[in-house]
Amino acid sequence: MVTCTGCALLCEDIEVVIENDRIKESRNACRRGAARLRGCKNRLAPSFNKMQTDIDTAIKKAAEILKNAKSPMLFGWSNSTCEAQVKGIQLAKKLNASIDDTSSFCQGLLIERVLKKKFRTCSLEDVRNMADVLIYWGSDAQDSQPRHLSRFSVFPRGESRQRGYEEDRLAIAIDVRESNTAKICKGHFYRIPLKGDREFILALMDALSGKVPKYDAKRILELAGIMKKAEFGVLFAGIGLTYSIKEDIDILVSLEDMLPNFHVMPMVGHYNMRGFNEALFKETGFVNRVKFEGKPVHDNKYAVVEALKAKSIDALLIAGSDPLSSLPRSVLPHLASIPVICIDPCVTLTSKIAAVTIPAAASGLECSGSAVRMDGKVIEMSKVVENSYLTDAQILTRLMEGF
Amino acid sequence: MGIDVGKFMKNPEYEIKLTTYRDIFQAEALENDRFSDEYKKHSATVVMGKDGMKKFGLKTGDRVRLMNSYGSIVVELRESKREEPGGLAFMVNSPWSNALVSDETGGRGIPEFKNITARISLTKDEITKIESLIS
Ligand code: SF4
């Protein structure tokens, strides 16, 4: 069995057929996972200043850039193994660098609250075995974590849910768009206006405390009733919800406080984003946006977006991420003016502008390692195909040896 | 030689609210090759409800320019298969949608990826290539 790194569900039940050291076919994976397992078409090659070079030279040049930088940042990490993430944090310490990951503009706000135990949460196995009310809020799992509903939430039978979705479970969607997940939640889809989540939460809180909610009173009272009666409710908080209430994220904590049988689970996209958050939290007490200055300092100015806007970094090492794809173009100009080191298995938009590119083994396929599933369970991944690529962790170790 | 007056006439522009979503077919194309036509096809597309398109005199398959003070892209317009009562337009999250996202974050480090205001207008220009989103 192989583990898929297509999303933070880290499905461990994948069967594969291997031919010429590549996965030719896979079974059980979703469409996204199957594509991930086949591997990308364009492998990254080592380069310096856009000229192909050997891996040793690329690593040497990268070490030089980091050594000469006054305020380097190490960024990415959500597609790296836990082992590589720990090395990355060590490297940041050694360099007195800032370190941030994609959770900084994704689910970091929620994961931080989970790790600080502000939210009651649960495992995906608990969901499968016990959950009777499932709320997908600002989350289209069917397209983002495609086997979430079939492996853990809506469709499977569970220990105390032997009659499954037909009788034992109720799935609800709250979203600005009738997503594929919302379609499954027939009759229980609540469409809200863009940025309307806060108002919806306030209306729900009114309903839960016996007041008449300010809008859509009938449906919100009905929803509050369902939530109150839940034996084991789970609110799957998607990125749509997080972005919408980012200025007042603790309102979700207040809502959960009113629902003693409810659990909150942040829906994580990248396979090991939570792993990075946990590793940095263990080391510093913060999940992202940290600068090491003898001791770790946390500040929003160490968020990758803010650092790029403020032009406060003079070199950027990126591992397992493609900020040129995922960040607004309006914050990117500074990237083009500083040396970028890109460590990735594949050619990306970012690798095209990087001063140094270092190819890495694809984790879970070409190297072993561990990762943290969206609910916090550690999943071990084994090497599946033979190859000669260095792992992220080995590259980072060699970089550290260069100082 | 006559003057092509139409060439100098600007197509009407309409303001729209745009949000982004995820799509498994686009995610598959991304895993496979982010420089492929397949990825471009799934990303460089804007979806609108029937009523909105009618109001603006636009139809499925039209090439439209989406622009605001942060960027400008050309994408293909498609009619939504669902009801879109809020009049919102939708794009799958990608470097194309990111070209329109504001750099305003209130110092909090999270851009408004899903809350975009842009102007839409019919165009004959080519669909924006991914390479031009890097430079
Ligand atoms: S749901 Fe996620 S982990 Fe599972 S097969 Fe699909 S992409 Fe891979």
Q: From A145, A148, A154, A180, give the residue whose CB has the most ligand 1 atoms within 8 Å, as the site to mutate.
A: A145
* Tokens 């469709």 sit on residue: A155
The top-level CATH class assigned to A108-266 is: alpha beta
Asked, for residue B3, whether it belongs to a domain, the answer is: no
All residue ranges of chain B with pLDDT < 50 are 1
For residue B1, the model assigns a pLDDT of 47
A226 burial (CB, 10 Å; 0-12 / 13-18 / 19+) is middle
Asked, for residue B105, whether it belongs to a domain, the answer is: yes
* Structural domain that includes position B39: 17-134
Asked, for residue B7, whether it belongs to a domain, the answer is: no
For residue A164, the model assigns a pLDDT of 85
- Cα A75 from chain centre: 14
Two tokens at A169?
A: 């479970």
Asked, for residue B78, whether it belongs to a domain, the answer is: yes
| Amino acid at position A213, single letter | P
**Span from the CA of A6 to the centroid of ligand 1 (angstroms):** 5
**Span from the CA of B9 to the centroid of ligand 1 (angstroms):** 50
Measured between beta carbons, the chain B residues lying within 8 angstroms of A353 are 134
Tell me how many domains chain B contains.
1
For residue B8, the model assigns a pLDDT of 59
pLDDT in tens, chain A (403 residues): 999 999 999 999 999 999 988 899 999 999 999 999 999 889 999 999 999 999 999 999 999 999 999 999 999 999 999 999 999 999 999 999 999 999 999 999 999 999 999 999 999 999 999 999 999 999 999 999 999 999 999 999 999 999 988 899 999 999 999 999 999 998 999 999 999 999 999 999 999 999 999 888 999 999 999 999 999 999 999 999 999 999 999 999 999 999 999 999 999 999 999 999 999 999 999 999 999 998 999 999 999 999 999 999 999 999 999 999 999 999 999 998 999 999 999 999 999 999 999 999 999 899 999 999 999 999 999 999 999 999 999 999 999 997 7
For residue B84, the model assigns a pLDDT of 83
Q: Is B49 within 8 Å of B87 (Cβ atoms)?
A: yes
Q: What is the value of pTM for the model shown?
A: 0.95
The 10 Å Cβ neighbour count of residue B3 is: 7
In chain B, which residues touch A (CB < 8 A)?
Answer: 17, 19, 21-25, 27-29, 31-36, 70-71, 82-83, 85-86, 88, 90, 94-95, 98-99, 101-103, 105-115, 130, 133-134
For residue B2, the model assigns a pLDDT of 53
Q: Which CATH architecture has domain A40-105+271-401?
A: 3-Layer(aba) Sandwich (3.40)
A193 in B contact zone (CB under 8 Å): yes
**Span from the CA of A31 to the centroid of ligand 1 (angstroms):** 8
A142 in B contact zone (CB under 8 Å): yes
Domain harbouring B94, CATH code? 2.40.40.20
For residue B83, the model assigns a pLDDT of 79
Q: How much helix, strand and coil, in percent to the nearest 5, is found in chain A? A: 40, 20, 40
Asked, for residue B10, whether it belongs to a domain, the answer is: no
A289 in B contact zone (CB under 8 Å): yes
For chain A, the domains span 40-105+271-401, 108-266
ipTM for the predicted complex comes to 0.93
Asked, for residue B21, whether it belongs to a domain, the answer is: yes
E strand intervals along chain B: 14-21, 45-48, 63-68, 71-79, 89-92, 116-122
